[in-house]
A and B are shown apart, each in its own frame.
Chain A
Amino acid sequence: MTTDLTTWHPIASSTDLPMRHIYHGQLWGREMAVWRADDGHVNVWENRCLHRGVRLTVGLNEGRELRCLYHGWRYANRTAGCTYIPAHPADAPARTICNNTYSAVESHGLVWSAVDPIGEFEAPAVLNGNDVLALRPIPVKAAPDIALKHAKSYRFSPIGEGCADVTLVEETDNHVQLHAKQDQSKATLLLFVQPVDAGRSILRGVLTDQPADAGNILRHHNRRMQALRDVIEAEATMLPVPEPIEVQFSKVDEELAKMPARAKSGPKAELRVSVAHKWDASEGVAGFRLEALNGQLPTFQPGAHIDLHMPNGMSRQYSLTNAPGETDFYRIGVKREPDSRGGSECMHNAVQAGDVLAISAPRNNFPLRRDALKTILVAGGIGITPMLAMAQTLHVQGLGYELHYFAQSEAHLSFPDVLKTFGSNLIPHIGLDPASTGGALKELLSGYDYAHHLYICGPGPMLEATRKIAAEAGWPEDAVHFEYFKNTKEIDDSSTFEVALARSALTLQVPAGRTILEILQENGIEAPSSCEQGACGTCLTTVIEGEPDHQDVYLSDSEKASNQKIITCVSRAKSKRLVLDI
């Protein structure tokens, strides 16, 4: 068997992958961590955590995420992207932190993979449409070509005993097809030789039809294949032991774990998705299920949002409501705004199932800690959307939380099918006026204790009120996390000042009526942005010198007071000059 990395091989049986297990596979020297997520999806990943190289097969299959046992890094089903780093609980891991994966197809009772496939997987034609039976695989300490040579001489009976006529129907570079006939009985077997390493193989048999007495037939093949193994190993022991295949690992980028890559300028539209489903998620809220046109959607973390570009040319930010492990679609909720500037109206009226939209990859400016002793989530109205992702994460991980959902009426509770999974962790507050909302908030925020964390998303006035009540109730600022939908403050853009870009060695003038961000982008400086109204935090920039004039709703009060950060899409300078770390 020549080393052909493009060929698909069976590398596991479907029955090797029960829920919450990690199978240890290998193909051409490449170790593979093979695991089935709770949604049934089979993942085939390189068997090393990209952080410190520890085998993922000693890690934990938690159903939606795989957790490395060494430092607890978590990786998402399907994407293999990192979703959480316990040593940086308050930060969102960069999207570029992603384990290496291999192609995987589950078909005919087997899991198939290839190191470097050309084209899509195609099962051998003789298997298609048949109710097949995968036999117990037999590992062999011998080179794949020796095993394949002997596979031709495998003899078996279709009824599990006695002598049959066995003929070789076909021989390929990774399997033989054998046909056995004994009186009126017959059976067809595909016997694959999985190249594990230079000196190791696995015999994997598949019968093209379920025999009447599967238990007996499985035992028959088990005996015969072990006898074949002994013959193959007897020959292999006469030969020199081949050196294991040397596998090149891509080196881990030192910067990878520390810093998200700098994004390019402006709101992004790098992905194309189709609207797979549009539905009424509640009174005035439309739910959208977005699916990739091709390939895999990027990894998201709870709290993440996407920029969505509408047919009318506008772009808006929407939080992802997905649970961890729900990696084959994005689900968002869009509220119909009575005073819509065109965004929500377009989504409600114009966009329909089947339409194609452009979106950005998810960005997370609202990351969820998973080390809190208790987490309180407070949602107002459509502010429920990021909270759904957070609550589902906490729920499946068994972490203590409460989800307080303030809504006008029962009919306004969005995504009821998701909400009902939270049980008594969900506490709806229905139809409260501002005064009683304040009262309810005072009560639920009264019990601050060490390592409690509060996350708030909702309309501006409610957010302001909640932050104020939390501060009065003794919540420290770093335990209070919030995300505004929009910045409703009146922006004063009358000042004129100078910005010096330390890394770019450039000095620019910002006149009245223009923003720092606009001036940067105009001068060819790469400056990512998203909402461009001081709410989302995408354009956050480090200030080296000078006093910013903060006009955003993203930074906390102490962050603003420290004058070390600035949101360049709305904030300006009180000093004559700002020096930015760009």
Chain B
Amino acid sequence: MKLYDYELSGNCFKIRLFLNILGIEYESQTVDFYPGLEHKSPEFLQLNPLGQLPVIEDEGKVLRDAQAILTYLAVKYDASGLWYPVSDPGRLGEVAQWLAFADGITGTASAARLHDGLFYELDVEAARAGAHRLFRILDEHLWFAERVGRDWLVPGDHPTIADIACFPYVALSEEGGIYRQGYPAIRRWCDRVKRIQGFVGMSGIFTTSHAA
């Protein structure tokens, strides 16, 4: 498997994280996202006409979009079926709902980070306000989940790819000036994600202590 990868990308990190959790060997092909804009080069546009990372190549198949890749990897490589519950329509629907939510986080929290970190020209105040709107919803959801003993976004004892999809740009939000102090349930969920067996970090996402 080959991952078209950029070290500082939260969307590429989603894939690296999930591959590591599943214990899948892969080759990382670095794309000069910044400052080289290699993802907008004619060669890369052949792979992904949207000009976005990540992209994977697996046994001849080329696939773009972080959420799509997570879905593909889960169904193909997770024999337990725990990460993507295909046989449970209710939970599967909720996973899809949070995958779409993850896109919203990318459009806001990740955009603010691109503005602050990589000098993208965009309306950063609007991006931050949008992220705060989503974080309020996420924190509320997680607070009430904790009340009934649930650790993850989707009901069940095991995390799903919804957690993997939503985690990175939440955990990196402070690099875009979006502080998480007002979201205590999100902060606790981040600790839990970091304790998933096989978790790896990236620049800006640090480890946490072991569970008691």
- A positions within 8 Å CB-CB of B: 12, 15-16, 18-21, 23-24, 26, 38, 58, 60-63, 67, 69, 136-137, 139, 200, 202, 215, 218-219, 222, 398
A21 touches B191 (CB 8 A): yes
In Å, the complex CA distance between A26 and B148 comes to: 27
Q: A58-B206, A61-B209, A215-B147 are in contact. List 13 more A-B contacts (CB 8 A).
A: A12-B184, A16-B184, A18-B188, A19-B211, A20-B208, A20-B212, A21-B191, A24-B181, A24-B184, A60-B209, A63-B209, A63-B212, A222-B144
Name B195's closest neighbour in chain A (CB-CB). Answer: A20
Q: Is the CB of A20 within 8 A of B140?
A: no
Asked if A20 meets B147 with Cβ closer than 8 Å, knowing A26-B181, A58-B206, A69-B206, the reply is no
- Minimum CB–CB distance from A160 to chain B (whole Å) comes to 14
Given contacts A20-B209, A58-B206, A61-B209, whether A219 and B144 have CB atoms under 8 Å apart is yes
Min C-beta distance of B125 to chain A, whole Å? 13
A15 lies within 8 A of B209 (CB)? no
Inter-chain contacts of B208 with A (CB < 8 A): 20, 60
**Residues 196-212 (chain B) with a chain A CB within 8 angstroms:** 206-212
Question: In the complex, A137→B185 CA distance in Å?
Answer: 11
Chain A residues, Cβ within 8 Å of B143: 136
Which residues of chain A are near B147, meaning CB under 8 Å? 215, 218
Q: Which residues of A contact B210 (CB under 8 A)?
A: 20, 62, 398
22 residue pairs bridging A and B, Cβ less than 8 Å apart: A12-B184, A15-B146, A18-B188, A19-B211, A23-B187, A24-B180, A24-B184, A26-B181, A60-B207, A60-B209, A61-B209, A69-B206, A136-B140, A139-B182, A200-B182, A215-B147, A215-B148, A218-B144, A218-B147, A219-B144, A222-B144, A398-B210
Query: Which residue of chain B has the shortest Cβ distance to A23 in the bound complex?
Result: B184
Contacts of A19 in B (CB 8 A): 211-212
Q: Mark B148-182, 1 if CB is under 8 A from A, else 0.
A: 10000000000000000000000000000000111
Q: In the assembled complex, which residues on chain A have CB atoms less than 8 Å from the CB atom of B211?
A: 19-20
Beta-carbon nearest neighbor of B146 in chain A: A15
Contact of B209 among A24, A67, A137, A202 (CB under 8 A): A67
Q: Which residue of A lies closest to B187 (CB)?
A: A24
B212 x A38 contact (CB < 8 A): yes
Report how far A38 CA is from B211 CA in the complex, Å.
10
- How many angstroms from the CA of A137 to the CA of B188 in the assembled complex? 15
Bound complex: CA of A58 vs CA of B207, how far in Å?
Answer: 9
A50 to B208, CA, bound (A): 20
Using a CB–CB cutoff of 8 Å, the interface residues on chain B facing chain A are 140, 143-144, 146-148, 180-182, 184, 187-188, 191, 206-212
Question: What are the residues of chain A within 8 A of B146 when measuring CB–CB?
Answer: 15
Measured in the bound complex, the distance between the Cα atoms of B182 and A26 in whole Å is 10
Name, among A24, A137, A219, the residue most crowded by chain B CB atoms within 10 Å (CB to CB): A24
- Docked CA distance A215–B146 (Å): 12
State in angstroms the CA–CA spacing of A219 and B188 once bound together. 20
Alpha-carbon separation in the docked complex, A460 to B130 (Å): 71
**Bound: A67/B209 CA distance, A:** 9
Q: In the bound complex, how far is the Cα of B146 from the Cα of A576, in angstroms? A: 75
Q: Which residues of B contact A20 (CB under 8 A)?
A: 191, 208-212
A19 to B148, CA, bound (A): 17
- For residue B132, give the distance in angstroms from its CB to the closest CB of chain A: 9
**Min CB gap A211→B, angstroms:** 14
Give the docked Cα–Cα distance between A19 and B211 (Å): 8
Closest B residue by C-beta to A24: B181
Nearest to B174 among chain A residues (CB) is: A58
**CA separation between A21 and B188, bound complex, in Å?**
7
Residues of the B chain whose Cβ atoms lie less than 8 Å from the Cβ of A215? 147-148
What residues on A are CB-neighbors of B184 within 8 Å?
A: 12, 16, 23-24, 137
Shortest CB-to-CB span from A421 to chain B, Å, is 15
For the complex formed, measure the closest distance between the CB of A21 and the CB atoms of chain B, giving whole angstroms: 6
Closest to A31 in B: B181
Q: How far is the CA of A136 from the CA of B139 in the complex (A)?
A: 10
Q: How far is the CB of A66 from chain B (nearest CB, A)?
A: 9
Q: Closest CB of chain B to A528's CB: distance in Å?
A: 37
A-B complex: 5 closest residue pairs judged by Cβ atoms = A139-B182, A60-B209, A19-B212, A24-B181, A62-B209
User: In whole angstroms, what is the CA distance A453 to B69 when docked?
Assistant: 49
Chain A residues contacting B191 (CB-CB under 8 Å) are 20-21
What is the bound-complex CA distance between A15 and B207, given in angstroms?
22
Q: Which of A15, A67, A137, A215 has the most CB of B within 10 A?
A: A15
- The residue in B143, B206, B207, B211 that gathers the most chain A C-beta atoms within 10 A of its C-beta is B143
Chain B residues with Cβ below 8 Å from A219 are 144
Q: Which residues of A contact B144 (CB under 8 A)?
A: 136, 218-219, 222
B residues near A202, Cβ cutoff 8 Å? 182
* Distance in Å: Cβ of A145 to nearest Cβ of chain B: 19
Instruction: Report the minimal beta-carbon distance from A215 to chain B, rounded to whole angstroms.
Output: 7
C-alpha gap A23/B212 in the complex (Å): 16
Closest CB of chain A to B112's CB: distance in Å? 17
CA distance A580 to B209 in the complex (A): 46
Question: For residue B148, which residue of chain A has the nearest CB?
Answer: A215
Docked Cα-Cα span, A23 to B180, in Å, equals 11
Q: Which residues of A contact B148 (CB under 8 A)?
A: 215
Q: Within 8 Å CB of B140, what residues of A?
A: 136, 222
A84 CB to closest chain B CB, in angstroms?
15
- How long is the Cα–Cα vector from A304 to B208 in the complex, in angstroms? 29
B208 (CB) vs chain A CBs: closest residue: A60
Nearest neighbor of B179 in chain A, beta-carbon distance: A24
Q: CA of A16 to CA of B146 in the docked complex: distance in angstroms? A: 10
Bound-complex Cα distance A432 to B182 (A): 62
**Chain B's nearest CB lies how many Å from the CB of A279?**
28
Among A19, A69, A139, A219, find the residue whose CB has the most chain B CB atoms closer than 10 A: A139
Nearest chain B residue, comparing its CB with the CB of A398: B210
A60 to chain B, nearest CB (A): 4
B180 to chain A: which residues have CB within 8 Å? 24
Residue from B143, B146, B181, B184 with most neighbouring chain A CB atoms (10 Å): B184
Question: Given the complex of chains A and B, what is the CA–CA distance between A218 and B144 in angstroms?
Answer: 9
Q: Report how far A264 CA is from B208 CA in the complex, Å.
A: 41
Which residue of chain B has its CB nearest to the CB of A139? B182
- Whole-angstrom distance between the alpha carbons of A18 and B208 in the complex? 14
Kindly list chain B residues whose C-beta atoms are within 8 Å of the C-beta of A21.
187-188, 191
CB contacts (< 8 Å) of A15 on chain B: these are 146
Contacts of A60 in B (CB 8 A): 207-209
Using CB atoms, name the residue of chain A closest to B206.
A69
A contact residues around B209 at 8 Å (CB): 20, 60-63, 67
With both chains docked as a complex, state the minimum distance between the C-beta of B150 and any C-beta of chain A, in angstroms: 13
A21 CA to B194 CA, complexed, in Å: 12
Interface-central residue, B140, B147, B181, by most chain A CB under 10 Å: B181
CA distance A215 to B188 in the complex (A): 20
Q: Which residues of chain A have C-beta atoms less than 8 A from B212's C-beta?
A: 19-20, 38, 63
- Tell me which residues across on chain A come within 8 A of B188, comparing CB atoms: 16, 18, 21
Complex Cα spacing A85 to B66, Å? 41
Cα–Cα, bound, A222→B206 (Å): 32
Question: A67 CA to B208 CA in the complex, in Å?
Answer: 10
Report the bound CA distance from A64 to B187 in whole Å: 21
Nearest-Cβ distance from residue B135 to partner chain A, whole angstroms: 11
CA gap between A200 and B187 in the complex, in Å:
19
